[in-house]
């Protein structure tokens, strides 16, 4: 994280730490490392922190996006239906109970995630790219309402093997942002919406991006999901997630997800079918259109 981001983070951390003594009085001995989670990430968001493995077929490499110079695919794999393996490593750890009241509470957490893709049809199983996220969220719940505010860092890296094989160059894609999201439960249906203010963007200083006149200052996200319960632990679910950002001229990306799983004690294991249509969520291809269909095995600790 940059020095500028650290200076912005310090006042937030100081304000949070000032709340900790009050939380300690309210729940003596129970405020540190609580088991409380007040906000769960959208089911359909392809970049929601989780542990998971998957496979997808994508047209990402069918055409070159304007964000990068030309590169050459030397293999014989059909770029219009490239099969890729996916790996997600991440999660959210509640750190401190900031406060508790009738019908709700506030919790400070730490969060980290990495998402990688591998071209498994290619003999060397090229790492196509990896996106990294680190954030410090505060999750709040009151009745049927929940929300989170977080300071977040994101960076993206093009795979070394893919760069060597294709001649593609890495783009300096990444930023720090303040995120704010709110959600409302309506029975077993949840609707949510929010956005982010990007206060520092590496992408804005990327020479090729700057030549396109792109700005990277804001993001928006809305969506809805429904969960059907079966017995004590069974569930089925479906969701839609729509995101847009200034850096893509507000072109919407739509993600759909559905599947089934088991949930117990706040932990879940799920089999998820995913569909995406819009601008790629893989940071190194942030101006490239992509459509994919995939299957994930997801664990949410």
Residue 72's alpha-carbon distances to 87, 124, 160, 169, 273, in angstroms, are: 25, 16, 15, 11, 31
Has this prediction a pTM greater than 0.95?
Answer: no
Tens of pLDDT along 193-206? Answer: 999 999 999 886 76
From CA 36, how far away is CA 100, in angstroms rounded? 11
- How many angstroms separate the CA atoms of 193 and 181, rounded? 6
Domain count, the chain: 1
CATH number at residue 208: 2.40.230.10
Say if CB 80 and CB 294 are below 8 A apart.
no
Residue 288 belongs to domain spanning = 3-300
Give the angle 110-45-250 at the CA atoms, nearest 5°. 105
Residue ranges for the chain with pLDDT beneath 70 = 1-29, 75-78, 204, 206-214
pLDDT for position 71? 84
pLDDT tens per residue across span 101-154: 999 999 999 999 999 999 998 777 889 999 999 999 999 999 999 999 999 999
pLDDT confidence of residue 227? 96
Helix (H, G, I), strand (E, B) or coil at 258: strand
Give the per-residue pLDDT at 76. Answer: 63
């Amino acid at each position: 994280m940059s020095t500028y981001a650290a200076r912005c983070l310090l006042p937030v951390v100081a304000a949070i730490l000032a709340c900790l003594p009050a939380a300690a009085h309210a729940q003596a001995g129970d405020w540190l490392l609580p088991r409380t989670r007040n906000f769960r990430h959208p089911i359909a968001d392809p970049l929601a922190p989780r542990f998971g493995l998957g496979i997808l077929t994508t047209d990402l490499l069918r055409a070159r996006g304007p964000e990068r110079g030309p590169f050459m695919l030397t293999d014989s794999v059909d770029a219009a239906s490239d099969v890729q393996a996916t790996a997600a490593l991440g999660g959210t750890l509640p750190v401190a109970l900031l406060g508790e009241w009738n019908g709700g509470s506030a919790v400070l957490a730490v969060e980290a995630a990495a998402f990688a893709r591998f071209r498994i049809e290619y003999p060397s199983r090229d790492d196509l790219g990896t996106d990294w996220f680190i954030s410090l969220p505060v999750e709040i719940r009151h009745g049927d309402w929940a929300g989170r505010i977080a300071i977040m860092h994101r960076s993206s890296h093009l795979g070394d093997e893919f760069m060597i094989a294709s001649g593609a160059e890495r783009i300096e894609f990444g930023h720090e942002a303040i995120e704010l999201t709110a959600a409302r439960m309506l029975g077993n249906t949840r609707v949510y919406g929010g956005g982010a203010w990007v206060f520092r963007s590496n992408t804005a200083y990327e020479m090729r991006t700057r030549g396109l006149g792109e700005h990277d200052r804001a993001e928006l996200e809305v969506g809805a999901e429904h969960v059907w319960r079966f017995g004590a632990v069974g569930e089925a679910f479906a969701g839609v997630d729509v995101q847009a950002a200034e850096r893509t001229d507000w072109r919407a990306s739509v993600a759909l997800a559905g599947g089934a799983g088991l949930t117990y004690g706040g932990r879940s294991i799920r089999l998820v079918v995913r569909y995406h249509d819009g601008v790629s969520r893989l940071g190194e291809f942030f101006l490239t259109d992509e459509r994919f269909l995939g299957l994930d095995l997801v664990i949410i600790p």
